Amino acid sequence: MASPLIKTFVWSSKIRLFHWLNVSCVFLLMILGLMLFFDDPLDLSKQGKILLKTIHTLVGYVFALNLLFRIVLGFIGKGFERWSQTLPFTAAFRQELAQLKQNKNTVFKGHNPIGKLMVAALFTLLSVQMVSGLMIASTDIYYPPLGNYFVQTIALDKNNLEVIKPYSKANINPQAYDEMRTLRKPFKEAHEISFYLLLILISLHIIAVIISERKEKAALVSAMIHGYKYLPKNDNNE
């Protein structure tokens, strides 16, 4: 006879806030990024591209602040907010992996070992997106955090910086501009590669949630709304 399911609090309001804000930001950033990638078929004007890049950057700031909040929370938070409870390669992770090998039907209160590996991969790619995205914004439309610095490095006349605009060559030193674009190139490539990898991981994450939801019936999706899972009473969930 199956063990009765017990309503168990797992995810704090901070974790849930981060999760859904991150989902919203990543979705918007991907849509905006794809529109910019297909700017020719969409027949976007220069002003249209600048507008999309500006919106993309503003959403990116929200995404970055939210991600930084989660990173800090992982060190100062409680319970499953902490990285020791969320990331792999800890003593607890090795124990959980051994438990899962012994019994593939083991249910964990937080992430299972495979879930922890997914979390590590997702946060790595999200961090790459954040750093590379901020660098691109700084060198493309001259937005913070380094936009003002790059404007000064490429300016012919340091006293006339206000005329330097995206897609304009006014008051720009061609050599300095080319050097800036060379510096920007690996960040742009990292941004694009991590975008495709994120698409793959997000798809796998959604599939894994659906499979686990059907198998464990622990209310994984709703748990990220109200914080509670429905779990069998055992040592892992007490």
Q: What is the DSSP string of 150-161?
A: HHHHHBS-TT-G
Q: Is 128 inside a domain boundary? A: yes
Q: Is 232 inside a domain boundary? A: no
Q: In this predicted model, what pLDDT tens digit does every residue of 193-236 receive, in sequence order? A: 999 999 999 999 999 888 877 776 667 788 899 999 888 876 45
How many other CB atoms are found less than 10 A from the CB of residue 225?
Answer: 12
Mean pLDDT value of segment 32-48: 93
- Average pLDDT taken over every residue of the chain: 91
The proportion of the chain whose per-residue pLDDT surpasses 70, expressed as a percent, equals: 95
Q: Is 229 inside a domain boundary? A: no
Q: Is 71 inside a domain boundary? A: yes
Number of domains in the chain: 1
pLDDT at site 1? 44
Q: Is 9 inside a domain boundary? A: no
Q: What is the CATH number of the domain that holds 143?
A: 1.20.950.20
Helix (H, G, I), strand (E, B) or coil at 230: strand
Show the domain range for 21: 14-216
Q: In this predicted model, what pLDDT tens digit does every residue of 56-97 receive, in sequence order? A: 999 999 999 999 999 999 999 999 999 999 999 888 888 888
Mean pLDDT value of segment 113-132: 96
Q: Is the peptide bond before 145 cis (omega within 30 degrees of 0)?
A: yes
Q: In this predicted model, what pLDDT tens digit does every residue of 135-165 receive, in sequence order? A: 999 999 999 999 999 999 999 999 999 999 9
pLDDT at site 104? 78
The secondary structure of 104-128 as a DSSP string is TT---SS--HHHHHHHHHHHHHHHH
| Among the listed residues 113, 80, 111, the one whose alpha carbon sits nearest the alpha carbon of residue 99 | 113
The radius of gyration of the chain from alpha carbons, rounded to an integer in Å, stands at: 22
pLDDT at site 221? 83
Which has more confidence, 93 or 16? 16
Q: How far is CA 90 from the centre of its chain?
A: 23
Q: Is 233 inside a domain boundary? A: no
Q: Is 2 inside a domain boundary? A: no
C-alpha span between 192 and 195 (Å, rounded): 5
Q: Taking 70 as the threshold, does the pLDDT of residue 238 lie above it?
A: no
C-alpha span between 124 and 130 (Å, rounded): 10
Q: Is 224 inside a domain boundary? A: no
